[in-house]
Structure 1
Amino acid sequence: MKSYIKNLCLSLVAVVILGGCSEDLLDVKNLSVYNPEDVWNDPTLANAYLVDLYASTFSGWPLNDGNNADESVGILGEGQVQTTNNAFKLWPYSQIRKINVLLSEIDNGQLGNEEKMQIKGQAYFMRAYHYFRTVVYHGGVPIIEEPQLLTDDLLVPRNTTKECFDFILEDLDAAIAGLPDRFTGNDLGRIDKGAALAFKGRVLLYMASPQFNPSNPYDNAYWQEAYQANLEARQFLEAQGYGLMENYNDIWMQSGNREVILANIYENPVKVNGRREDCVRPLSQSRNCTGGDQPIWDFVSKFPMKDGYMPGESPNYEYNLQRFWENRDPRFYDIVVYNGAIYELGGNPDRRQYTDTQVADINDGFRPGSDGRSGFYTRKGIQVELPVAQVDLNDVDWVEIRFAEVLFNLAEAANEVGRPDEAFEILKLIRQRAKIEAGTDGNYGLATGMNRDQLRDALYQEKFIEFAFEGKRFWDLRRARRLHTQINGMKKYGLVAVLKEGLDPVSGADFLPEDFDYEVTELFSTGQTEMYTPETYYFFPIHQDEIEKNPNLEQNMGWDNGTFDPTLD
């Protein structure tokens, strides 16, 4: 009975995002018509209100985010981003209002001081999180610190981008001051001091970035602030026992492990399918959905060999397109499912995944002109033991911040402030954990003596692999102002597999990857065939509806004769 009550309570108030629940929560009143005298005098009601904020702040795994970059299938085409549609728009003021209600009223209640501080600390973080994401989309937006009436419009002008960053950092400092060092156990998933420090490092990395400083992208003073913040975050987190997991795949398969700094917790059967496994699997092993997060050849080809050198450059391992899967970076096999590879879906340890249309299930194959297929699938975050009937019960946690990101953020800032040796050592740590061979020089295939630009490129390349399908690539290219130079005009390619002549496709034989011939082919031959990512995409427009509701809002420069400069220049 208790487990049923717990599951019912989790469903009612979304407490699974925090991991724990009390039976008292069954007695909560309707929080949409709450009485402040009740909520801020009762720890159960106060935490229920807080949980509702979590549910409207954090989401699950990003799906198909890589379609907007050079990671997965899909074309970001001309005309997809407009001032009058919802593409790449963010305006979370209803969520911010709820946070402002908490921050303005909680001190009037009778909760204990420590509990108030912890709840306020989490709320400050979430307000900073919403503002930060909105600034990344649009640049400076109106700063609202007090709860407005639900009937009010935001009849206020935009604050500058610098004012918004300062406000975000103030909120994060307030969060850091009020939060405990680390939440564990039933509180796993709550925002703690380590999460706030790590997120502050992310914020300052963006503040220093070329996206916000186009006229002085790498020598502005914000880089030093980013370096100090990420160094502090790393040192604090390591003191709390955080670090890189020994095995890359365990980051997702072991909930609450040492690499996880902040996660959205999933628990079957109460809160499931944050990974959208039903849409990532091949259709033969799924239901009514497929094609999500399919790697393209451009991404697959970027994996180094297992000695860390790029394909065709390794002194130890030959590379041949017809045996492209051999001797690659071990992360390759944790991320990429290729034709003939073992893919243990349904708990079948011997199951092979085929993409040759002669051999594969009719729904899994890839051939030229079959838009939406690439010849690859991904296994990242997939619970291969789930049968088809339970494919939507995936409960792999979404890791919003992990320790490897803190290391990359620190390395990137270190390189820009004249500390290349620190950045290089972090790259070595990442490759060591990946189990790339160290080599006789102990450099894991990394070139020595790289200059600032080369080391910067190496960091972006390594992060591309390390964070595949975690929703980083598009935003990193945008932050670095590389969209218009690396992605604009790009065509996307897949890999066609064809069973070798003389082999019988209907024999039922267990064909190996080397039993096929391979050809790189363009994915899209009709309609929009090239990526469209012009320089105006470094700051997306505010929706025209918001401009019309609030005459004090300026549109961004580059959109509908806008006059607002969203940069820090």
Structure 2
Amino acid sequence: MKNILKIGILTLSLLGLSSCNDFFDSIPGQSYDMTETFSNRSKTMDFLNNTYSYVSNENSERYLIPGNQGSPWTGGTIEADFTWSWHITNEWTTGKTYASSGWINYFFIEYYKGIAKASTFIQNVDQCKEASEGERTVWKAQARALRAIYYFMIFRSYGPAILLGEEPLSVETPLADLLKERSSVDEYIAYIVEELDRAAQDLPTKYNGTNLGRIDRGTCKAMKATALLYAASPLFNCNPDYADIKNADGKQLFPQDKSQEQAKWEAARSAYKDFFDEFVDKGVYKLYTTAGTGGVDYYESFRRATCGMNYDDTNLEQIFVRVVDEGNDNYELVPYHAGEASDLKGGMGLGATQEIVDLFFTDKGYRIEDTESGYKEYTGVPTADFYGATADYTNPNSSIVCFEKNTNKTLKQWANRDPRFYVSITFNGSRWLRPRSDGSWITTELNKGGNSGIDKASWDSPYTGYGVRKRAPINGTWSGKHVSILLRLADVYLGYAETLSACGEYDKALGLVNNIRERVGLMPYGSGTGQIACPANRTDVDKRVRRERLVELAFERKHFFDVRRWKVADMSIGDGWIYPTYHKGGEGGEIHGMNNNANLPQFFEKVATELRIFEKKHYLFPIPDQDIRRNPKMVQNYGWSSVD
């Protein structure tokens, strides 16, 4: 039959004529044509499943391989640092990434491949008469939603790119007809929103059980609100830095009409309200909680909501996930633990920074900068009154011991903190998540001579002196099926709060923030007794919404995009909300941690561990150089050059 393809990007040579055929090539020893595939129910479902394979496994950040996309989303932020020198984040954070860098091409190409396959599926699925009309309708809607989501994934990194249209193109199409211009932000987002709305009409409310990970109506509506939130944010909404990014015909790609700036916030607010009305108010989705000794177990509720292993039907917080078996992520989260059994050993190559440690609240809900927090800072090597613990520290309403009684292994600054701190951070002297086979517990030691320090673990010890713990496996280093959580309800709460603040509904915005804080036992914001005061204006409410988001979603691949869409990633001096006041340079400048090349107590000295580069051009990735060169109609993003 005549081979009709959805051209996945600008030229035949980028995705090639195999852009749709590589599905067939992926089945060893099998050769199918389009007619045979889409006349067979099983093969048609295989094609759809292959289209799903481009949903990113964002838990795997180490390797850039098809179907298991690594990323710079965590190690490329001030949240964390990959110890391993070969990791792509070390190129990104030192300013050595160019438009011609191979991994810059990777995301662009992979998502356009997913778009091409989704389009091919949509165009051909109705040939499958072995499936009922109802099945075909649902499958087509899933592919349509996937296509919109892949476009969004491109948008969040590169800005508006090229919308390919609906009609298939023959392989005989003249090259000139394949060379297209970038769409504007408004055109791009409008398309994503329209496609998600269209798909949602034909999808079930929520998938569970064996269908977990399938796109449903809830996913569509939540992703729609997310896309509109991005479009309303300062990076994409009347950003004067991008005023001169125009196509050859003069079309402005980034909107500059100030009269429409507020309308975008209102559109995002409306989309979030629709989601809450249909899904939250009716209990389809809920913030996950579990009971403890005195009510909600603050620690365990948050751990289970975010660990990626609690993916059964009782977790109504998960909205969009990819189900995976994940050993790579486990390995970089589990400490080296010299001398322990293999299921208790890892290579903690992902280190948390002092900056993210200092963003976590106290157990009452204050910032450590607040006078009411009682937090005491030190300089240099702390004196003995700053370290040690007279008793085991147990998180409130939980039986979890975060660290044991000791004289010198822990800092008093690590006691009485937000439960999310203990879920998210491994610090020196902390108790590991699971015991040895004999029931005894391991204390993780990250100082120079400790069981997970550089003397024993070498490059498998975090150079910041802190490890990332969130998502670490409680059942062993190499065991357990996970989900990569791409979107959960707490994210939607805080996105909605952001739009409410932008629209002047400050009490409602703080109410949603308080819902998030309630799960982990922190004092709410408000003007009453037992509440933390917050002035009713956008500046102050935004500060609290943003800080809550940075803490709640830490290490969940949101920080990278949030500080960019807020247009604060080049903040010269920390404001005490998004960045600590001692941090200079936003996503650039010196990052800090413990002195990992020393033993106790010198280990506790807070030192600069790395100098990073952030320039205005780093708000967006460059359009890959190969696409700029192939397509004379393609314009480059701000600050990037095609000559490296």
**Quick check: 2:435–2:441 contact (8 Å CA) kept in 1?**
no
User: Contact (CA 8 Å) 1:97, 1:146: kept in 2 or not?
Assistant: no
Q: Secondary structure at the match of 2:199?
A: helix
Q: 2 CA distance for matches of 1:412 and 1:439?
A: 15
**Secondary structure at the counterpart of residue 308 of structure 1:** coil
Q: Residues 366 and 496 of structure 1 are in contact (CA less than 8 Å); yes or no, is this contact kept in structure 2? A: no
Equivalent in 349, 355, 363 of residue 446 of structure 2: 355
CA distances 1:357-394 after superposition (whole Å, capped 9, x unpaired): 23334547799x999511111221111331xxxx3444
Aligned equivalent of 2:266, options 218, 224, 228: 224
Once the two structures are superposed, residues 449-470 of structure 1 have per-residue CA deviations (whole angstroms, 9 ceiling, x without a partner) of 2420121121111111111111
Does the alignment pair 1:258 with 2:316?
Answer: yes
Closer/same/farther in 2, CA of residues 376 and 517 from structure 1, 3 Å limit: closer
Residue deviations 1:308-357, cap 9 Å, x none?
11125253645455311111111111111111110135646511001122
When you count strand as a share of all residues, which structure comes out higher?
A: 2
Q: Which residue of 2 aligns with 1:421?
A: 507
Distance 1:146 1:300, change over 3 A: same
Q: Tell whether 2:139 aligns with 1:119.
A: yes
Q: 2:77·2:559 contact (CA, 8 Å) conserved in 1?
A: yes
Matched, 1:272 2:321: no
Alignment correspondent of 1:10: none
- Give the 5 Å matches for 1:274-423: 276-284=329-337, 290-313=347-370, 315=372, 317-319=374-376, 322=386, 323-345=412-434, 347=436, 349-363=440-454, 373-386=463-476, 391-423=477-509
Structure 2 unpaired stretches of 5+: 1-25, 62-71, 83-89, 241-255, 290-300, 379-385, 387-411, 572-584
User: In the superposition, relative to structure 1, how do residues 54 and 405 fare at CA in structure 2: closer, same or farther (>3 Å)?
Assistant: same
Q: CA deviation at 1:29?
A: 7.4
**Mean alpha-carbon deviation: is it higher for 36-45 or for 150-159?**
150-159
| Greater shift in the superposed pair: 231-240 or 490-499 | 490-499
Distance 2:536 2:59 in 1: 35
Post-superposition CA distance 1:433-487 (Å, at most 9, x none): 1122459976876432242012112111111111111101011001111111252
Structure 2: distance between partners of 1:318 and 1:539: 37
Distance 2:508 2:525 in 1: 20
Distance 1:444 1:122 in 2: 47
Question: In 2, Cα distance between the equivalents of 1:351 and 1:60?
Answer: 29
Once the two structures are superposed, residues 384-422 of structure 1 have per-residue CA deviations (whole angstroms, 9 ceiling, x without a partner) of: 331xxxx34442211111111111110000100111111
Q: Is the 8 A contact 2:425 2:467 kept in 1?
A: yes
User: Secondary structure at the residue paired with 1:99?
Assistant: helix
**2:214 match:** 190
Q: Return the offset for 1:188.
A: 1.5
Question: Does 1:235 find its partner at 2:277?
Answer: yes
User: In the aligned structure 1, how far is the partner of 2:75 from the partner of 2:195?
Assistant: 33
Indicate yes or no: 2:210 matched with 1:129.
no
For residues 505-531 of structure 1, the C-alpha deviation after alignment (integer angstroms, 9 at most, x for no partner) is xxxxxxxxxxx872111113xxxx2x2
The residue type paired with residue 353 of structure 2 is I
What is the deviation of 1:258? 1.0
Contact 1:73 / 1:293 at 8 angstroms: preserved in 2? Answer: yes
Q: Give the conservation status (yes or no) of the 8 Å contact 1:305–1:314.
A: no
Between stretches 415-424 and 432-441, larger displacement belongs to 432-441
The structure 2 residue matched to 1:80, chosen from 93, 96, 101, is 96
Shift, 1:149, TM fit? 5.6
Structure 2 letter corresponding to 1:183: Y
CA distance 1:151–1:98, shift in 2 (3 Å): farther
RMSD, aligned α-carbons:
3.2
TM-score, normalised on structure 2? Answer: 0.72
Cα distance in 2 for partners of 1:361, 1:339 equals 9
When residues 379 and 138 of structure 1 are mapped into structure 2, their CA distance, relative to the original with a 3 A threshold, is closer
Secondary structure of 2:589's aligned partner: coil
Per-residue CA distance 1:539-561 (angstroms, 9 max, x = gap): 32211111222233222343238
Change (3 A) 1:133 1:318: closer
Residues 1:134 and 1:201: Cα distance change in structure 2 (over 3 Å): same
Q: Contact 2:284 / 2:316 at 8 angstroms: preserved in 1?
A: yes
CA-CA distance at 1:82 after TM superposition: 1.2
2:114 match: 95
Shift of 1:535: 1.6
Q: For structure 1, which runs of at least 5 residues remain unmatched after alignment?
A: 1-27, 502-515, 563-569
The Cα shift of 1:129 comes to 1.0
For 2:95 and 2:503, the matched residues in 1 are separated by 39
Q: 1:457 to 1:87 in 2, by over 3 A?
A: farther
Kindly state the Cα deviation for residue 147 of structure 1 after the two structures are TM-superposed: 4.1
Deviation at 1:241, TM superposition (A): 2.5
CA contact (8 A) 1:303 1:310 kept: yes
* Inter-partner Cα distance in structure 2 for 1:262 and 1:489: 31
Displacement after TM superposition at 1:128 (Å): 0.6
Residue of structure 2 in register with 1:55 after alignment = 53
Deviation for aligned residue 1:291: 4.1
Letter in 1 for 2:100: T
Q: Contact conserved, 2:363 with 2:418, CA < 8 A, in 1?
A: yes
| Matched residue, 1:509 | none
Offset, 1:296: 0.6
Task: Give the letter for the 2:613 counterpart.
Answer: Y
Deviant stretches of 4+, over 6 Å: 28-32, 150-153, 285-289, 364-367, 439-444
Give the partner amino acid of 2:209: G
**Count of aligned pairs:** 506
What is the distance in 2 between the residues matched to 1:444 and 1:83? 52
Q: Distance in 1 between matches of 2:373 and 2:73?
A: 35
Larger deviation: 329-338 or 39-48? 39-48
Aligned residues of 1:276 and 1:394 also touching (Cα < 8 A): no
The percentage of counterpart residues that share the same residue type is: 24
Q: Report the residue type matching 1:265 in the other structure.
A: V
SS at match of 1:73: strand
CA deviation profile, 1:116-159 (whole Å, cap 9, x unmatched): 12111111111111111112222222211344467987422222
Equivalent residues of 1:308, 1:436 under 8 A apart: yes
Hey, what's the Cα distance between the residues in 1 that align with 2:521 and 2:29? 50
